[in-house]
Structure 1
Amino acid sequence: MKVLQFTIPVSHEKSVIVERVCLPYHYPYLHRHKEIQLTWIRKGEGTLIVGNNMHDYSAGDVFLIGANLPHVFKSNPEYFDHNSNKKIEALTVFFNPEGTLLPLFNMAEMKPALTFFQQYQQGFKVPHSIADKVVAAMVALDKASGLDQIIQFFNLIKGITSAKCKLSPLSTYGNLPGITENEGIRIGNIYNYIIQHYSEAITLEDVAKVAYMTPESFCRYFKKHTGNTFISFLNEIRINEACKKLIAHKFESINNVAYKCGFSSITNFNRVFKCVIGVTPKGYIDSYNNNVISLNRAAG
């Protein structure tokens, strides 16, 4: 069996690494790396798990993920269907201000940029107001070579740091980057198990076995290293998937969605849904439909 690493090494053939991928689905394992990651989702939908938080993603979204910040782009379930023709496409830029680029970021003119990345170590979603500018710089960087690539990198940094609005962090649990490699592998295995089995009746005993711990020890460990309780993380995964199913209009009933997302009763589903989202499942569908109608009217 292949041993999965938690800290993934990124090629250091260049100071700035550009990676273009076209695959059936995103790399499905929680991991981290020393480089800051800037990813433009060209095609694909799913959930981005960063540290202790979850964020939906779709085509057009751009995310900056801080150095050593554990993350996984979890493609929607249909991308893993053997009969699916769906593909994901993404363009990613990796760079490490504290590696080979350190002399560059130590320049007086670059100190504000270095401070910016230190301030946003927990990452952020690039706001729509500058997303087109950032994507254009990423594409230009991908096409460039040699000295021109460094010039385009300057343009990219200028674009990223031009955001005038307050940027919300992707993760709100600041101690996660400090976990050891072995702890990261164990947490990754736990996350992967929950992500793959959320639709089933997962028990505390089941997931504790994955971590080779007693249930009591596992509860303390998971809370300490993720900032979440096991139940709250599992519920967020399930409700996140339920939201996608509800607005896709490909379900027979709300009850059907509840059972397909791992809930054994509609009463519990409704209670957890309102606790996580703030409204009932029906209220969520009505709100979504009203927003769609409003957007269509505005476009018309």
Structure 2
Amino acid sequence: METKLSSVIIGFGIMGRIRYHAMQRHGGYEIRAICDIRSEVREQMPDGLFVYSDWRTCIDEQEPKVVIVCAVNKMIPEIVCYALKRGCAVFSEKPPGRTLEDALKIQKVYNECGITLKFGFNHRYHNSVIEAKALLDSGLLGEAVCVRGVYGKAGNEHFAEEWRNNKEISGGGILLDQGIHMLDLMRYLLGSELYVKSGIVNNLVWKELETEDSAIALLETERHQIASIHSSVLQWRHKFDMDILCTNGYIALNGLLTNSKSYGEESITYYKKDLLAESGKLGRPKEHTMCFNEDFSWDKEMDEFYEAVTNQKPIVHGTMDDAVKTMQIVTDIYKLAEKKG
């Protein structure tokens, strides 16, 4: 019989609801309670659940096996550390707080407690990324030597008032909120740690924001692989593109299936090097494309977390180490940009 994990969800905004539905689809989570500080949200909770406004009371009274943390960045370190000390396995949204110091604080408690902890870097579970990783691991295209990423969206008419643009609550802007996903993918697909060589962080359009609306950075690995990222809220038409240049070929990831359906069709195309132009004109090698119309990333995340808690399997994606190292990159980009400013 499948083990049911008694669970509570802290924070029931967009991500809290996404996790709630993924846990329901999985079937191995017994969701007992949901906590949210907003009265209007508490009034619309699903039936049959305990509802709390205070997260400590929720954890103390329910004594869950699992705590799902979908709170704002400022609250993540405190809630995660408290839950770990109470003996709860924790699944937390990214980023691991507002700063690198927040992430290191969590890491210290995690190392002391030795309890399962996973962070929500769901982009690794997208079909195009899974295929890209398999293709790179196969060696068909040689070694990855360069990766370029563009991740951009358009802010809505109330964008300036969103909590993500309150630096006291969020810790940073579009780089920390969305660019961190792209940086995590770059680390993962290159198989090497990235070090920041240069970076520009600015408010190019949303001048009134405390946080940046655009970030561009150039990075390099110890193996001299190069990476560049542009994370922006100025794209106006949502965009996710990643090019991976290899010694014997090229991979292009275009589009991303998301709940908003605004990033277009998700696809991966790869090309093998054809310097003799055997497939036609030079620079137009034969292409191989796969397109996807379903996103199972949320379900795969909750499944990996479940297996880690019930069967003591190691966390593969979204580890504490992943969270700290990616947060280090974000921090270094911010620091370098401040020096130039």
TM-score, normalized by length of structure 1?
Answer: 0.26
- Structure with larger RCO (C-alpha < 8 A, sep 6+): 2
Could you say which structure has the higher helix fraction? Answer: 1
Could you say which structure has the higher strand fraction? Answer: 2
TM-score, normalized by length of structure 2?
Answer: 0.24
